[in-house]
Structure 1
Amino acid sequence: FKKFNMKRPKFFLSGDGGYNKEIEEALRKSVKENHFDAVIAEYSMAGQYLEANQDIFPPDTLTVISVHECYTKAFELRAAKGEDISNAQIKELHDYEFTMYNAVDRILSLTREDSEILINYEPGLRKKVRIVPHGVDTEFYYPPVDKSLDENSKRMLYLGNFEHYPNVDAARNFIDHCWNHILQEVPDAKFYAIGFHPPHELLDLRSDNIIVMEGGDNENVRQLYWKSDVFVAPIELGTGFRGKILESMACGLPVVATPLATFGIDPSHGNDMFVADDYDTFARYVIRLLKDAELRKTIADNGLKLVKKFDHIYASEKLAQVFSEGKQDRL
């Protein structure tokens, strides 16, 4: 990467090519002035600072990168869908990404599927990768107490940070491939695509029935879940764990999702949620749920049972095990 005079490929994550020296200096200062049992880089883009500053960590400090998605895999998926990404770019990204992972003591993967993706690219990572799924705060996210079975807002919800392109792509997938079919069967249905910084390609699709708007704080998000009838996750790009699916299930929403969206959740199709790998089927499941209150309740109730297994207390226990094991290895 010397040709770019930087420590990462020019398109690493955001494409700006930057490496923030202020972040690096703050990290070095903090490690010099404090002792840490572990230093975790949350998201791979933060992992570059661990890889570039390996010399500052004492032998008893565990270095960890929490990998929310494998960028190499994500770029391959985007290229396969027609985006202008060359094989040379993907190779350069792969080489840097896995150099970074090899430089730390542990890799946290959010799902079993994602851990397998990493190990398939780099078998030597098997000894480092540990699966620690995201948890959901079931004390905050819970079903509304005053929502009756007779209520039917006919609102479908998709929630995501639209600065992350797979979320834009997911909303477009639903509008482009499912919406007309649903509207023919349920003319008063409404689709809400909510998230930070929605781009013009979504804003331009707004209508009386398609609402695209900025997201809000956790309380605002919880209210959105409560006011909706179905959560849709038509995700085709990216990898990783979809915490918003767990939040929606915890709030009593039935879910229709693509297989990719369910990584790490392992739902029972037709019981905990509906899973569809083509959009005609996806739309039919949404229509069934919009028209059948009893079915919505059944799927939602089963989803609530599943989501209890992902309470954040269990995720924190798994993370503590990783720290304990890693510290023993470094002694």
Structure 2
Amino acid sequence: MTQPPATKVLVIGYVWPEPRSSAASGHVMQILDTFLQQGWDITFSSPAGTGEHRADLTSLGIREVPIELNNSSFDTFVSELAPDIVLFDQFMMEEQFGWRVEKHCPDALRVLETSDLQSLRHARYQRLKERLKASDDANDFSELFAPALREEFEFMADTDLAKREIAALYRCDLNLMISEVEIELLVEQFKLPRNLLHWCPLMVDAPSAPSPAFEDRAHFLSIGNFRHAPNWDAVLWMKTMIWPLIRAQLPEAQLHIYGAYTPPKATALHNAAQGFHVMNWAEDALQVMSAARVCLAPLRFGAGIKGKIVDAMLCGTPNVTTPIGAEAMHREQPWPGAVTQTAREFADCAVRLYKDKDLWMSAQSHGQILLAERYQPSIHGPALIEKLLYCQQHLAQLRRDNFTGSMLRHHHHKSTQYMAQWIEAKNRH
């Protein structure tokens, strides 16, 4: 009896994955690994240039095919590949290539990996900037941290970014959401059908080996890709407000800040005399995280869930963060460290965790429980495959039920097609 052909998956990436540089790329790699475990045939394409920390996909058995924006060569490529599933990595890729996929592979399941809700992150950034202009108080940002979903909707609803992003969600057959808070926002406020959204958080196995003990660790650590605006803002808040408060209580304290693509403006903050060390990129993020005693993540805005905090739990490193950092990560479970609203509270909690071994060990155990209960690949991987197969089997009905999506595809794809063809013709002359 002949085996049925393997499911063909085309992933169209906003960038080539760099899992050691960003949580978004790490999540893409976790999804790819889930597909590989099914024996699926995977092709990864991107119009982006190659970054210096990119993953070697070919070594995993994944084909790499560069593609171009506004170029009909993609039409030939996708027609010949004839994928069963097309996964768009970030909504901009659906905007660019969605109409071509629909035209040449109409029966392919179209899936969007959102990474985080970018329009939510952008709206929160605008609110932070307004708050910084209105007040020079760098201590208390609590009014930014826990608005009701209705307030979030009202900040987002008039923005171009929200209209673009949520239209892309409607146009796809399924959207992978990393945050349950974002699912509730989309369903309750933007009125998206819940069956268009699938919760797929970061998927990591709890470590089997014990992590270094309290006594064998030293220093505070902060980590994050500097190209990601929330990370740069967190560094600025630490430098100007939080770190001086920590040093006042722990005069010998040292903070090591790691991040890919460190810009000169970040390097300029390095000050060894203040114990404020900007360390550039970490070759092994888990190794430096395991050596630190406490992870600091003072995020004043952002969306999704935080890879740096999952890494801290993996390494048994308690963390101090804000409600933005903790959002959608723990539900009712105790937090593996502290969630704080002001710079003063942040510094006090960081110092307490650093000095109190019992408190530190309790926080570490909370992280291990949280990993096991919310981030297991053995739970989320099969759930993702089951959902994809269900959508494939019921595709015609799902599309019929999603009339808003088909209407948006009809109008958007026509206009995008004509614009792309005009750009391509212009580029030939």
| TM-score with structure 2 setting the length | 0.65
Contact 1:70 1:118 in 2 (8 A): no
State the AA in 1 paired with 2:257.
Answer: A
Q: Which deviates further from its counterpart, 242-251 or 27-36?
A: 27-36
* Rounded Cα–Cα distance in structure 1 between residues aligned with 2:215 and 2:232: 33
Q: Which residue of 1 is the match for residue 389 of structure 2?
A: 324
Q: How does 1:236-275 map to 2 (within 5 A)?
A: 236-266=300-330, 272-275=336-339
Q: How does 1:12-161 map to 2 (within 5 A)?
A: 22-23=68-69, 25=71, 27-56=74-103, 58-82=105-129, 91-120=159-188, 122-139=190-207, 143-144=210-211, 147-153=212-218, 155-161=219-225
Q: Which residue of 2 is the match for residue 232 of structure 1?
A: 296
For each residue in 1:167-224, what CA deviation from the matched residue of structure 2 results, as whole angstroms up to 9, or x when unmatched? 101122222221111101111111111111122332221111111122234xx11111
Q: Which residue of 2 is the match for residue 4 of structure 1?
A: none
* Rounded Cα–Cα distance in structure 1 between residues aligned with 2:206 and 2:69: 34
Distance 1:169 1:143, change over 3 A: farther
* Rounded Cα–Cα distance in structure 2 between residues aligned with 1:301 and 1:221: 21
Q: Which deviates further from its counterpart, 174-183 or 43-52?
A: 43-52
* Rounded Cα–Cα distance in structure 2 between residues aligned with 1:79 and 1:233: 20
Q: Which residue of 2 is the match for residue 12 of structure 1?
A: none
State the 1:136 CA deviation. Answer: 1.8
* Rounded Cα–Cα distance in structure 2 between residues aligned with 1:133 and 1:61: 24
* Rounded Cα–Cα distance in structure 2 between residues aligned with 1:244 and 1:290: 18
Q: How does 1:299-310 map to 2 (within 5 A)?
A: 299-309=363-373, 310=375
Which protein has the larger Cα radius of gyration, Structure 1 or Structure 2? 2
Distance 1:206 1:238, change over 3 A: same
State the AA in 1 paired with 2:203.
Answer: G
Q: Which residue of 2 is the match for residue 5 of structure 1?
A: none
State the 1:160 CA deviation. Answer: 0.9
Q: Which residue of 1 is the match for residue 136 of structure 2?
A: none
* Rounded Cα–Cα distance in structure 2 between residues aligned with 1:72 and 1:66: 15
For each residue in 1:227-276, what CA deviation from the matched residue of structure 2 results, as whole angstroms up to 9, or x when unmatched? 10011111122201112211111111011111111223116576533111
* Rounded Cα–Cα distance in structure 1 between residues aligned with 2:186 and 2:321: 23
Contact 1:269 1:275 in 2 (8 A): no
For each residue in 1:5-42, what CA deviation from the matched residue of structure 2 results, as whole angstroms up to 9, or x when unmatched? xxxxxxxxxxxxxx987156565344211232311112
Q: 1:165 aligns with which of 229, 244, 250?
A: 229
Distance 1:104 1:269, change over 3 A: closer
| TM-score with structure 1 setting the length | 0.83
Q: Which residue of 1 is the match for residue 257 of structure 2?
A: 193
Distance 1:292 1:37, change over 3 A: same
Identical counterparts, % of pairs: 22
* Rounded Cα–Cα distance in structure 2 between residues aligned with 1:169 and 1:59: 43
For each residue in 1:265-290, what CA deviation from the matched residue of structure 2 results, as whole angstroms up to 9, or x when unmatched? 11657653311122211111100011
Contact 2:91 2:112 in 1 (8 A): yes
2:251 counterpart of 1:204: no
For each residue in 1:148-176, what CA deviation from the matched residue of structure 2 results, as whole angstroms up to 9, or x when unmatched? 332341x1111111111111011222222
CA RMSD of aligned residues (A): 2.7
